Structure 1
Amino acid sequence: MSQQSQFRLFAERRFLPFFGAQAMGAFNDNVYKNVLLILATYQAATYTTLEPQLLTNLAGGLFILPFVLFSGIAGQLATRYDKTTILKAVKAFEILIMAVAAFGLAQQHIGILLTALFMMGAHSTFFAPAKYGLLPEVLHETELVGGNALIQMGTFLAILLGTLFAGVLASHGHTGTISVALIAIAVAGFAFSLAIPKLRPAAPDMKIDWRPWTSAWDNINAARESRTVFLSILGISWFWFYGALVLAQLPVFSKDILGGNEEVVTVLLVVFSAGVGIGSLLCEKLSGHKVEIGLVPFGSIGLTAFAVDLYFATPNTLSAEPLGPSAFLQQPGTWRVLMDLGFIGMFGGFFIVPLNALVQQRSRREVLSRVIGANSILNAAFMVVAAIFGAVALQSGMTIPQLLLATGILNAFVAIYIYSLVPEFLLRFLAWLLVNVMYRSKTEGLKNIPEDGPALLICNHVGFVDAIVISAASRRPVRFIMESSIFKIPVLSTIFRGMKAIPVAPAKEDPETYERAFELVARELRDGHLVCIFPEGRLTSDGEIGPFRPGMMRILKETPVPIVPMALSGLWNSMFSRKYGPMWNRWPRRVWARITLRVGEPLDPATADLDLMRARVVALRGPEQ
């Protein structure tokens, strides 16, 4: 796929039929769920004696309960068998589910309708591991964020259109019309699935454990192979707690707080869904075609800020008569409410797309579907808790605006806790801010950094933020060797520790730190990581590249690995270099200045010497300092 357009995936058979099957499933989910919720909210007496608020949260809980019960088995099936076969079987099952829903609508029987909703949850449970497990098998690494963004966009576009269609059907459609529409959408999704190419099973000899609880625990253990992956799954699950809680309240929020009719519910859901779709697509642009987890803290900031503002934007007075969309939009404060909902959705996209891509990127293929199954289990558990939390909070007297405010504040505490456990997220956020707000970052030759395995990166040392700039450009985490004096700089030291930087000092000044640095470097290289050294051994004082120190040759002698030369230019004139002397003289001279990182072809450690390596770095940098 061209890096200029993620939409070119739609021309590929490896992606388009799968996208269509996924989008139709999400569309049908939301047509059915929203028809049911709107009918239960506005025509409750016809279907049930339950209170609308209780029924709304009960329906949400029933839909996600199958994820808790069956995700373990679903993950194993998607590992044992061809994912395409699983997808086709699930889409065929959807047709049967819609037939059950049609019978429930004809009988106006809430029990049958809720049973169909539970079955739709089971449909999504078995679809998810095959869906997300398929993406890294059919997409290149540079396409992974774009593919996830398109899936997320397609999902929420389906939510948007499904919500609109549900509003029309619930307001004007006969139950027979609703039934025909639901079955027709399911048939269309099944037709798309027939064109998905076959894939090789990840573990064809795997024995399926049909016991829900033990299979679920097996999937969770697979996810815990990588601490970062598991904590990312917890972050995804928190997003679904947040999103489920917000979405579940919108019908009653519209009716009882904003004074809107059924069509206003649709407007609110459309705005929220459009926000998520826009945020998901922007991820591809903002991430520079790589998995950029620095967007995750950015997303969490927006999720808190706009939830809090939504509380203060809520009007104090209620219209005497239910308002249609036109009258609703003319009310004072309406546009602020819509803006808050839209931005909650958009920052939700910034939060969820990189986390999904990270889980797919850093999980072994043999366990990926089981990891996705674990993700579904935890997502579901968090959403069940959200449904219980919402029901209990509302029954105890909390208003919906107060519930939304509490959710936004709770999100801030959860985010701080997650980033304290995984500093890499916060580091990437700071790196992303630096190279996208203060500078215009240009990279050349990133393909020369190996996608896996160890390598020693060497680069000229221009300023205090060289490591952050390189870290922001690399698709893989990098361990940096840096002067202990720089490593100890207040504030920056916290960042460098989060990067797992390796401090080094001259042997004469601190022999213990000197020897410890070589031990840590050797261990990181043996473990298959990237290590970066600034071989000049100090920051440049005149903008030129100094002689390379011999310590690097000891590293290559002890652990011979490919050497990747790199060069930075454009940072010498910044506040982060030593050009302007004391710190108070280092205010930014240029806003959004251009900096460049060039990466050369790897060198053989058996033949490279200090002069050759320095010559390569000098040539890569060119005349610009």
Structure 2
Amino acid sequence: MAAHPISTAHTSLLSRGMLAVMLAQFISALADNALLFAAIALLKAGSAPAWQIPLLQEFFVIAYIVLAPFVGPFADTFPKGRVMLIANCMKFLGAAAMLTGLNPLLAYGMVGLGAAAYSPAKYGILSELVAVDKLVKANSLMEGSTIVAILLGAVLGGWLADIWLAGALYAIAAGYLLAAAINLLIPRLPPSHPLATFAPAVMCRDFIQTTMRLMRDRDARFSIIGTSIFWGAGSTLRFLLVAWVPVALHINDLSTPANLSGAVAIGIAIGAIAAARWVDLRTVNRALPAGILIGLAIMMFAYTSNIYTAIACLLLIGLLGGFYAVPLNALLQERGHESVGAGHAISIQNLFENLSMLLMMGIYILLSKQQLPVIPITVTIGGLVLVAIGGLTWFRLRSRSDVM
């Protein structure tokens, strides 16, 4: 009987830790998304060519790719709450550098360094705070709160960038500092898979071996490829909106594309809630039809010319995306926690997701530099998503039938 109060206290500590993780993630994600629109406004104010706007994402994701061998082991070797603290401080430095006049592309790349370190810790800590059977619900809660932050960050960032750009940057920098302070409230959980050495050559070799080991796991491979397709398309769609709105809706401010990206965020939150209700790790294949429909919904959106129809299409794209991506994220965390460590697994996922973003954004930049109209570009991106997730679904279902 004496052990019961200890058990209750431990559960309470984890609950407070989960709350701190969610709150810090919310504020950090809000600042991330506000900063994107501030950076776009800075490029426009400097009369940068239009193709440099999507290049912001390329500078951001390079950090994820270059640091992929290091950020996963870093997150698994130290308490993840402290890793998140360090990452938010790095994001603050990037926002401050943008405020002091550094080229927005370079400053946004600095924020990417912090984001690359932050991601394995924020997702990896979930498998340390909750039981396996609660992972989909924990991911749904994380994604839902993050999506609300994306919505508010995009709306506030676009609005502030239109009326007071310097004020937007001051507020964003303060947001990163607040998130870092909240990270101090996360309990110091023991490291999950600490490395014996941080020698770069050893870490790169470990990363390659870990990647090969994880990719041999059928479920992990399926999750990594599936989420990579989704986030590559989602990242590209956000920048497509900046070019699409003036052409299709004849509106030339930053607030409208920011608000429309918020519609996608609301949809993802709804989809995440639905996934928590109807999908678990045993029934993850239920998410696949939603993934296929994302491509069709993007293609349908390309030809809309009314703002309310556009909002409806974007809500649908987000809903399908949330229902599709959340269960796949939970599946990878479970497989990663059981094998190579959740932080390692998320860093590998980040590598593939950001390679996908780099590829899709590269296609967009290339087509844009060739002066192809934005509507055919949007249809092309939607078609790529349709074919990619359709092919993934076919291989997934075929492998399941082979096993049976």
TM-score (normalised: structure 2)? 0.90
1:19, CA displacement in angstroms?
A: 0.8
Paired position in structure 1 for 2:46: 47
Q: Which has the higher contact order (CA 8 A, sep 6+)?
A: 2
Q: CA RMSD in A?
A: 2.3
Paired position in structure 2 for 1:12: 15
**1:219-266, Cα deviation, whole Å (9 max, x unpaired):** 422422412202210111111111111111111111233211322222
Distance in 2 of aligned mates of 1:214 and 1:179: 39
Alpha-carbon distance change, 300 to 205 in structure 1, aligned in 2, over 3 angstroms:
closer
Distance in 2 of aligned mates of 1:180 and 1:342: 31
AA aligned to 2:181 is: A
- Are residues 1:251 and 2:250 paired? no
AA aligned to 1:206 is: A
Distance in 2 of aligned mates of 1:103 and 1:296: 45
Distance in 2 of aligned mates of 1:368 and 1:421: 25
Matches for 1:233-272 after TM superposition, within 5 Å: 233-262=224-253, 263-272=255-264
1:62, CA displacement in angstroms?
A: 0.4
Paired position in structure 1 for 2:168: 178
**1:390-409, Cα deviation, whole Å (9 max, x unpaired):** 01112224221112212222
Paired position in structure 2 for 1:137: 128
1:277, CA displacement in angstroms?
A: 1.4
Paired position in structure 2 for 1:119: 110
Q: Is the 8 A contact 1:209 1:215 kept in 2?
A: no
AA aligned to 1:269 is: S
Paired position in structure 2 for 1:456: none
- Are residues 1:189 and 2:184 paired? no
1:134, CA displacement in angstroms?
A: 0.9
> Which residue among 383, 398, 408 is the counterpart of 2:382?
408
- Are residues 1:348 and 2:321 paired? yes
1:216, CA displacement in angstroms?
A: 4.6
Distance in 1 of aligned mates of 2:273 and 2:35: 26
Paired position in structure 2 for 1:419: 393
Distance in 1 of aligned mates of 2:165 and 2:108: 20
AA aligned to 2:19 is: L
Matches for 1:247-396 after TM superposition, within 5 Å: 247-262=238-253, 263-287=255-279, 292-313=283-304, 315=305, 333-363=306-336, 364=338, 366-396=340-370
SS at match of 2:17: coil
Alpha-carbon distance change, 296 to 15 in structure 1, aligned in 2, over 3 angstroms:
same
Q: Any runs of at least 4 consecutive aligned residues in structure 1 with deviations exceeding 6 A, and if so which?
A: none
Distance in 1 of aligned mates of 2:204 and 2:371: 36
SS at match of 2:100: helix
Matches for 1:406-485 after TM superposition, within 5 Å: 406-423=380-397
Paired position in structure 2 for 1:27: 30
Which of the pair is proportionally richer in strand?
1
SS at match of 1:254: helix
Distance in 1 of aligned mates of 2:242 and 2:13: 34
Distance in 2 of aligned mates of 1:222 and 1:191: 36
Distance in 2 of aligned mates of 1:11 and 1:223: 28
Distance in 1 of aligned mates of 2:188 and 2:150: 28
AA aligned to 1:306 is: A
SS at match of 2:284: coil
- Are residues 1:95 and 2:92 paired? yes
1:204, CA displacement in angstroms?
A: 2.9
For structure 2, the residue ranges without an aligned partner over 5 or more in a row are 1-11
Distance in 1 of aligned mates of 2:398 and 2:21: 32
Which of the pair is proportionally richer in helix?
2
For structure 1, the residue ranges without an aligned partner over 5 or more in a row are 1-8, 316-332, 428-496, 502-625
Q: Is the 8 A contact 2:127 2:135 kept in 1?
A: yes
Is 78-87 or 27-36 further displaced after alignment? 78-87
AA aligned to 1:59 is: L
Distance in 2 of aligned mates of 1:122 and 1:174: 23
> Which residue among 185, 191, 200 is the counterpart of 2:190?
200
Q: Is the 8 A contact 2:55 2:105 kept in 1?
A: no
SS at match of 1:128: helix
TM-score (normalised: structure 1)? 0.59
Report how many residues are paired.
391
Identity of aligned residues (%): 21
Distance in 1 of aligned mates of 2:194 and 2:293: 43
1:302, CA displacement in angstroms?
A: 2.4
Q: Is the 8 A contact 2:92 2:111 kept in 1?
A: no
**1:445-467, Cα deviation, whole Å (9 max, x unpaired):** xxxxxxxxxxxxxxxxxxxxxxx
AA aligned to 2:133 is: T
Alpha-carbon distance change, 258 to 208 in structure 1, aligned in 2, over 3 angstroms:
same
SS at match of 1:385: helix
Q: Is the 8 A contact 2:94 2:109 kept in 1?
A: no
SS at match of 1:401: helix
Q: Is the 8 A contact 2:14 2:129 kept in 1?
A: no
Q: Is the 8 A contact 1:241 1:386 kept in 2?
A: yes
